[in-house]
Chain A
Amino acid sequence: NAGVTQTPKFQVLKTGQSMTLQCAQDMNHNSMYWYRQDPGMGLRLIYYSASEGTTDKGEVPNGYNVSRLNKREFSLRLESAAPSQTSVYFCASRQDIMNTEAFFGQGTRLTVV
């Protein structure tokens, strides 16, 4: 059981380049999330999808877009990368939005130069 799988694990982009971070879960979870983790700031929610077919902005959505491709997959796109987007990105999933715990991928370390 793979859980939550993120690709790629590492990426270096030049300012202005675009890329898509992929995330897939095999636990039949309804809710999926994208977070960024920066030193001393914990996790900040970028976007989430409470259920298939819906997406909503989180705390820090500017500069990002998302697609809930199907129940399994939730991608995060940077249209024009900026150095401020250098961070570690985590995808997570939960059975639902209520009481259940989140399961995390291993993260993508993104550097924008």
Chain B
Amino acid sequence: AQSVAQPEDQVNVAEGNPLTVKCTYSVSGNPYLFWYVQYPNRGLQFLLKYITGDNLVKGSYGFEAEFNKSQTSFHLKKPSALVSDSALYFCAVRDQDSNYQLIWGAGTKLIIKP
């Protein structure tokens, strides 16, 4: 069965420093991967996706993610964190064995300190 793991419940980063939010996956077939962000009391917003092609995917708000097939990872990154990046981040993988539903990680709370 497909699965996705976000090994860190919380990540703390100082403003201006680079940030990484980790995601690993397990799929059969080609992985289709997504990152979403959730601000307090809001629905999830799409950040970026990897379907095929370049391993470095660029998305909204200056975020990017690196697909690494050998490590089965899809880590979210940003070169310089902003306080406004503080939110809950979710990684998801498409499950081709269950009618292409999205399987979600448990989420990582990102806290950017001034």
**B13: CB under 8 A from chain A?**
no
Query: Do the beta carbons of B9 and A105 come within 8 Å of each other?
Result: no
With A41-B106, A42-B90, A101-B34 known to touch, is A50 a contact of B42 (CB < 8 Å)? no
B residues lining the A interface (CB < 8 Å): 9, 32, 34, 36, 41-46, 49, 51, 90, 94, 99-102, 104-107
* Contact residues in B for A92 (Cβ distance below 8 Å): 43-44
**Measured CA separation A90–B43 after assembly (Å):** 7
Q: How many A-B residue pairs have CB under 8 A?
A: 53
Query: Do the beta carbons of A101 and B46 come within 8 Å of each other?
Result: yes
Number of interface residues of A (CB under 8 A): 24
**Measured CA separation A100–B23 after assembly (Å):** 20
A residues lining the B interface (CB < 8 Å): 4, 33, 40-45, 48, 50, 56, 58, 90, 92, 97-99, 101-107
Query: Do the beta carbons of B43 and A105 come within 8 Å of each other?
Result: yes
